[in-house]
Structure 1
Amino acid sequence: MKISKIYCSEEKIFEDIVFNKGLNIILAEIRNPENKQKSSHCLGKSMLAALIDFCLLKKVGKEFFLKKNPKLFDHFIFYIEIMVSESQFVTIRRAVKAKSKIAIKTHSIGAKNYRDLPDKDWDFVGGFEKSKKLVNDILSFEILPNHTYRDTIAFFLRSPEGFSNVFRLPKYLQSNDVDWKPVVAELLGFKSKNIIVKYQKDKQLDSINNELSASVENEYETSMQEERLKVVLSLKIEEVEKKEQQYDSFDFTKADIEKPEILATEIDEKISVLIKDNYYLKNKIEHANKSIINYNFDLEEIKQFYKEIGIYFENQLNKDYSDLIQFNKEILSERNEIVQEMLKEYNKIYEENKITIKNLNVQKAELLSYINTTDSFEKFKLLQQEITELKTQIESIKVKINSIDIITGLTEKKSRLETEISNIVVSIKQDFFGEHNAYIETIRKHFNYILMEILGDAGVISTPLNKNNNIEFIPEIIDMNTSQVSSKDKGTTYKKLMCCALDLALLATYSNKKFIHFAYHDGIFDGLDSRQKNNFYNIIEEYCEKYNIQSILSSIQDELPESIQKTEKIDELKKRHVIVKILHDEGNDGRLFKMDAF
């Protein structure tokens, strides 16, 4: 899969960009001397990667630049032509306007213009999800066949935000590890099934541990308590049976005692049910109160800590922390609101039950007072009261035993889960450390070779297990003078280089497979010294030629390597169509979109 062409319905505002199969440069020329020192020039250099992603059916929100400006872009329709193979191309049509249908057409020759093609002549015109599925079927990747092309495309469309983490893409920053680590594992040639199952089992275990922590502190004490309760229950049942025998054989001289007796028994049963309900409600209320969490995180303390240890706290890092803090606050706030609503409902029912129990006791007392006219009636009343109290105690004990049985069941399930997880960890270790994996070995060789050629230091990709026995993906630069991990890999510039090295390593490794064969890197030369720029450019040329890779680079002219920065070299690259798009700061004609900055 390579990008062949991108064009638009508004061709006077957005000119066609035709890409070649190898090296492509999007060049931003700063012709106005006053703009030389600016860090941003609003030419649209960084927008092109986002636009390609949009055309490749990325799901976008209202903050996406085309959606943020509906008056400017709602009438725009974009087209992207993808080369699937030398004899197969596919064009995707996507309009900016909401709820517009996607159109798809396959063809055998590239560089087509389908602006005026009516819907009936497209192979498919339909909804967003069906369109993605059809494109996925057309591409038919051999790498990660169980995933869609959208799961991996972001590795090869790196904008400035995409360089913040080598393996964890921006779209996964707020996601759980299970959402992205299996994808990375498969991308590196590993099996992901056991990783996924491990995370699923961990989640189940966490749930059980939460239930147990709210119910019991000591497993031994719980077992002993259950045995005690069973003994007490047995004795209480024997006692109530004796009392009931006395009750059944009780003799009364008054004939109208039967109805009050039945009514009193029914009231006792209602009271018993309500006492049982309130026992459960009380436990729920206590558990809910304990689960309310206040999230306090002082970002200023983190900044001060970085300052004290002498490490610069980057703006991007500040933004990442702020976004993470805001995200956690919103989640906890929503969760606490739900718990508060539950508490309110539990307390309401609990108090209503207490009032009902009180009223039922008054009714029972009135009924018993009716038959409290003789000594015999007094004895009956006392006997009935004792039976009721015993039955209430028996029900309460049964509830407690049932709760302990639930705890015991959870404890047994926890033990089984822990055993299963241990076995899964063994399988993960076998997958990652025991089996021969030709793919990861090749990827590591390329990664190391690329960084050695650019920096003169070794590049390493490690896949250790963390303290929770979950896989980690760690890229590092090894200082060849000290043989120690270099601090270079913590800097933004070198992190960007490691991202590019990984992408090229993946493309080279899978160059003979049906997979992605292009990479878009925005501003890759920014921040590198002259030698590193030249080395990196040589590597890109080498890999494009040797592994049939399409590389798309965007750069300001002043940041280009010295070897191609001179006017005569730029002219040569233009003639060879290596420079496929020129942007400049001399008016709107120099912008990606030939209009005022937006």
Structure 2
Amino acid sequence: MIREITANQSSFQSVAFTKGFNVVLADRKKEETKKHSRNGLGKSTLIEIIHFCLGANADEDVFPKEHLPGWEFSLELAVGSRPVTVTRGVENPANFLVSGVPSNWPIQPTVRKGVEAFTAKEWTLLLGHFLFGLPYDTDGNSLRGPSFRSLISYFIRRRTDAYSIPFESFRKQIASDVQINNAFLLGLAWEDASEFLKIKDRSKDLESIKTAIKAGVLDGFGGKLGDLETRQVRLKDLVTKRQAELESFKVHPHYEQIQTDANRLTGEIHSLVDANLVDRKMLELYGQNVSAEQPPPVDFLDRIYQEVGIFLPTTVFRRIEEVRHFHETIISNRHAFLANEVERIKNALSKREVQSQEKTEERAALMDILKTHGALEEYTKLQQRHLETVSELNAVTLMIKNHRAFESGMSEVRIAQERLHQKARWDLDERRTIRERAISLFNEYSQHLHSAPGNLVVDVGPNGFRFDVEIERSGSGGVGHMKIFCYDLMLARLWAEQSVSPRVLIHDSDIFNGVDERQCARALELAAQESQAHGFQYICTLNSDMIPEKELSSDFDLSQFIRLRLTDDDVKGSLLGVRF
């Protein structure tokens, strides 16, 4: 509950609030000129000051240092049933100076640069602990839980974006935060909402991996699982084969020389075989020549001449005999030469056969060594190929493991999601009384404003909590704002019944924009009635032309609740008393 807001500048208009209904009114004159702007009177700035003192990030667009040099704002409020005052400076927003701190607070201010103060984190942890019952020590808690800043923004909505959806404190708020915050505020199992968030993040990560796998841009997967398993079998067989080759491999220190000698012997053997082939051809030729060379008979010429009628004298025959004898001598000499050549060739063939046999046996011995041994270089190459195959097999095995882990992860996410869904459903059923209480209050408030009950939906599905509100004619902006009003008032009422509570609800004039005057009047009277009856504080800012005076009940005097009146007479009538 907020008691008072002040500043260290005399131009600032301090304001004190009480329990129950409070109004900050921006009044305008009948003859307002274009130079005057009631939007610049400070209604929204007042809400910004409250957030500023409650640990919001310093916004220089709201509090520019060059225009507000030396300004400090102070907020007196009840924290843990004790009044304390927090002061925060525009020029030094890191320090929160708090007076009235009890010695039993779990966090105490420390001296920084000669000033005893809290940091923003320390201050908001304390506020979360004393106003919402949050743990002040969050170390070791793996669950993503609500924070003071996220929760207080539902009780003190900030800026126009806060008046779009009842369950969001600003436009396009992260869905998981919406679930966690509203589950906490409604007294539901917010831990389930946090677990849903973890599962959702895990599922999103796995879906991203799945997309990357299909696109082939993610290392460590390398194709379809079936193809990888087939490749793994082939590589295992190859690794086994090459391992056996390595184990049976014997390195000979002179392997290269032995290989050279074997190659040399092979060449010499080929040369001997070629030479023998040539000589055998020569033997065949020589044999044919010996058979073909025979001297002609003596009476060969006589028979020829007689056949043609010519008879040769005796002297002629004698000379022929001499010629024949000459030819026989030549043939005899020829035969002797051929016989010598045949003998020589046979001897050469026999010698080469012996040499070829010897070299063949020598080469066989060398080849036996080459078959049972290997060169060090060859062994190194074989070993390198083996290591490359093993490395490929390990890579494929890892890919298969990644695929199976991914598929297992997807299954685990689905199972965990279903189990959590069941657990959240059981938790929701066990808290049926709490949920029905919230629904009943919302319906009561919406019926009061619209003469027809609205419907607050609080349910849980496979993806977590689902919140929604339904009111007839909810398409109009004004009805949408009244959804937020009913929801916020319901939260304020529920929390007012607890021992630990902020006991405050603040609405800017934005919530009444576009609202029918009759509904606006009913909302103001309902807020006054509920806050006064149940001991919490309701503060609203209004423009004077928004007051539905004709629709207010005759016994409802709004003026008695005005705690601060801002005017556009001059700059002094604004909240800050300065323009920039």
TM value normalised by structure 2: 0.67
1:585 aligns with 2:568: yes
Task: Give me the whole-angstrom Cα distance separating, in 2, the residues matched to 1:517 and 1:134.
Answer: 16
TM-aligned CA deviation for residue 8 of structure 1 = 0.6
1:515 pairs with one of 493, 501, 505? 501
Task: Give me the whole-angstrom Cα distance separating, in 2, the residues matched to 1:140 and 1:536.
Answer: 26
Secondary structure of the residue that 2:91 maps to in structure 1? coil
1:228 pairs with one of 227, 230, 238? 230
Q: Do the aligned partners of 1:194 and 1:428 also contact (CA within 8 Å) in 2?
A: yes
1:501 aligns with 2:503: no
In structure 2, the CA distance between the partners of 1:541 and 1:563, relative to structure 1 (3 Å rule), is farther
Q: Do the aligned partners of 2:27 and 2:565 also contact (CA within 8 Å) in 1?
A: yes
Q: Do the aligned partners of 1:31 and 1:585 also contact (CA within 8 Å) in 2?
A: yes
Q: Which residue of 2 aligns with 1:427?
A: 423
In structure 2, the CA distance between the partners of 1:52 and 1:385, relative to structure 1 (3 Å rule), is closer
1:292-331 matches, within 5 Å, as: none
1:523-534 matches, within 5 Å, as: 523=509, 524-534=511-521
Task: Give me the whole-angstrom Cα distance separating, in 2, the residues matched to 1:403 and 1:148.
Answer: 42
Q: Which residue of 1 aligns with 2:167?
A: 167
Name the aligned partner's letter for residue 470 of structure 1. Answer: G
User: Residue by residue, what CA displacement relative to the aligned partner does 1:419-456 show, whole Å, maximum 9, x if unpaired?
Assistant: 22211111112222x22333322222221111211122
Secondary structure of the residue that 1:413 maps to in structure 2? helix
User: Residue by residue, what CA displacement relative to the aligned partner does 1:209-254 show, whole Å, maximum 9, x if unpaired?
Assistant: 43344346999x9554354334322431343245436642557355
TM-aligned CA deviation for residue 383 of structure 1 = 7.8
Structure 1 residues 233-242 or 185-194, which shifts more?
Answer: 233-242
Task: Give me the whole-angstrom Cα distance separating, in 2, the residues matched to 1:253 and 1:537.
Answer: 105
What stretches of structure 1 of length at least 5 have no aligned partner?
109-118, 258-374, 480-485
1:347-496 matches, within 5 Å, as: 388-389=384-385, 391-432=387-428, 434-465=429-460, 469-477=463-471, 479=472, 486=473, 488=474, 490-496=475-481
2:242 pairs with one of 236, 240, 243? 240
Structure 1 residues 207-216 or 22-31, which shifts more?
Answer: 207-216
User: Residue by residue, what CA displacement relative to the aligned partner does 1:484-504 show, whole Å, maximum 9, x if unpaired?
Assistant: xx4x2x433222211111111
Q: Which residue of 1 aligns with 2:22?
A: 24
1:82-101 matches, within 5 Å, as: 82-84=77-79, 88-98=82-92, 101=95
In structure 2, the CA distance between the partners of 1:124 and 1:441, relative to structure 1 (3 Å rule), is farther
Q: Which residue of 1 aligns with 2:57?
A: 59
Name the aligned partner's letter for residue 416 of structure 1. Answer: E
In structure 2, the CA distance between the partners of 1:501 and 1:35, relative to structure 1 (3 Å rule), is farther
User: Residue by residue, what CA displacement relative to the aligned partner does 1:125-179 show, whole Å, maximum 9, x if unpaired?
Assistant: 3433223334445x35458998554331111112432111211111x735x4333
Name the aligned partner's letter for residue 50 of structure 2. Answer: I
Higher gyration radius (CA): 2
Q: Do the aligned partners of 2:22 and 2:538 also contact (CA within 8 Å) in 1?
A: yes
Q: Which residue of 1 aligns with 2:364?
A: none
Secondary structure of the residue that 2:465 maps to in structure 1? coil
Name the aligned partner's letter for residue 189 of structure 2. Answer: K
Task: Give me the whole-angstrom Cα distance separating, in 2, the residues matched to 1:143 and 1:457.
Answer: 37
Percent identity of the aligned residues?
A: 19
Secondary structure of the residue that 1:189 maps to in structure 2? coil
Secondary structure of the residue that 2:56 maps to in structure 1? coil
Name the aligned partner's letter for residue 540 of structure 2. Answer: L
Secondary structure of the residue that 1:195 maps to in structure 2? helix
Q: Which residue of 2 aligns with 1:6?
A: 5
1:63-82 matches, within 5 Å, as: 63=61, 65-66=62-63, 69-82=64-77
TM-aligned CA deviation for residue 408 of structure 1 = 1.6
Task: Give me the whole-angstrom Cα distance separating, in 2, the residues matched to 1:235 and 1:125.
Answer: 72
Q: Do the aligned partners of 2:457 and 2:468 also contact (CA within 8 Å) in 1?
A: yes
In structure 2, the CA distance between the partners of 1:459 and 1:39, relative to structure 1 (3 Å rule), is farther
User: Residue by residue, what CA displacement relative to the aligned partner does 1:375-406 show, whole Å, maximum 9, x if unpaired?
Assistant: 979x9577875665455344323322221122
Task: Give me the whole-angstrom Cα distance separating, in 2, the residues matched to 1:179 and 1:500.
Answer: 20
Task: Give me the whole-angstrom Cα distance separating, in 2, the residues matched to 1:15 and 1:515.
Answer: 28
TM-aligned CA deviation for residue 7 of structure 1 = 0.5
Secondary structure of the residue that 1:207 maps to in structure 2? helix
What stretches of structure 2 of length at least 5 have no aligned partner?
103-110, 137-144, 260-368
User: Residue by residue, what CA displacement relative to the aligned partner does 1:484-530 show, whole Å, maximum 9, x if unpaired?
Assistant: xx4x2x43322221111111111112222120212111114332223
Q: Do the aligned partners of 1:74 and 1:97 also contact (CA within 8 Å) in 2?
A: yes
Task: Give me the whole-angstrom Cα distance separating, in 2, the residues matched to 1:191 and 1:77.
Answer: 40
Task: Give me the whole-angstrom Cα distance separating, in 2, the residues matched to 1:148 and 1:407.
Answer: 38
In structure 2, the CA distance between the partners of 1:561 and 1:256, relative to structure 1 (3 Å rule), is farther
Task: Give me the whole-angstrom Cα distance separating, in 2, the residues matched to 1:35 and 1:457.
Answer: 42
Q: Which residue of 2 aligns with 1:45?
A: 43
Q: Which residue of 1 aligns with 2:119?
A: 127
TM-aligned CA deviation for residue 588 of structure 1 = 0.7
In structure 2, the CA distance between the partners of 1:37 and 1:450, relative to structure 1 (3 Å rule), is farther
1:560 pairs with one of 547, 554, 557? 547
User: Residue by residue, what CA displacement relative to the aligned partner does 1:87-108 show, whole Å, maximum 9, x if unpaired?
Assistant: 7311111111135532112389
Q: Which residue of 1 aligns with 2:194?
A: 196
Q: Do the aligned partners of 2:75 and 2:86 also contact (CA within 8 Å) in 1?
A: yes
Aligned residue pairs: how many? 444
Q: Do the aligned partners of 2:26 and 2:43 also contact (CA within 8 Å) in 1?
A: yes
Q: Which residue of 1 aligns with 2:285?
A: none
Secondary structure of the residue that 2:395 maps to in structure 1? helix
Name the aligned partner's letter for residue 454 of structure 1. Answer: L
Q: Do the aligned partners of 1:102 and 1:131 also contact (CA within 8 Å) in 2?
A: yes
Q: Which residue of 2 aligns with 1:150?
A: 149
In structure 2, the CA distance between the partners of 1:105 and 1:148, relative to structure 1 (3 Å rule), is farther
Task: Give me the whole-angstrom Cα distance separating, in 2, the residues matched to 1:525 and 1:411.
Answer: 53
Name the aligned partner's letter for residue 167 of structure 2. Answer: F
Task: Give me the whole-angstrom Cα distance separating, in 1, the residues matched to 2:415 and 2:100.
Answer: 52
Q: Do the aligned partners of 2:520 and 2:548 also contact (CA within 8 Å) in 1?
A: yes
CA RMSD of aligned residues (A): 3.8
Task: Give me the whole-angstrom Cα distance separating, in 2, the residues matched to 1:554 and 1:51.
Answer: 14
Name the aligned partner's letter for residue 71 of structure 1. Answer: E
Q: Do the aligned partners of 2:53 and 2:86 also contact (CA within 8 Å) in 1?
A: yes
Q: Do the aligned partners of 2:481 and 2:512 also contact (CA within 8 Å) in 1?
A: no
In structure 2, the CA distance between the partners of 1:503 and 1:233, relative to structure 1 (3 Å rule), is same
Name the aligned partner's letter for residue 163 of structure 1. Answer: Y
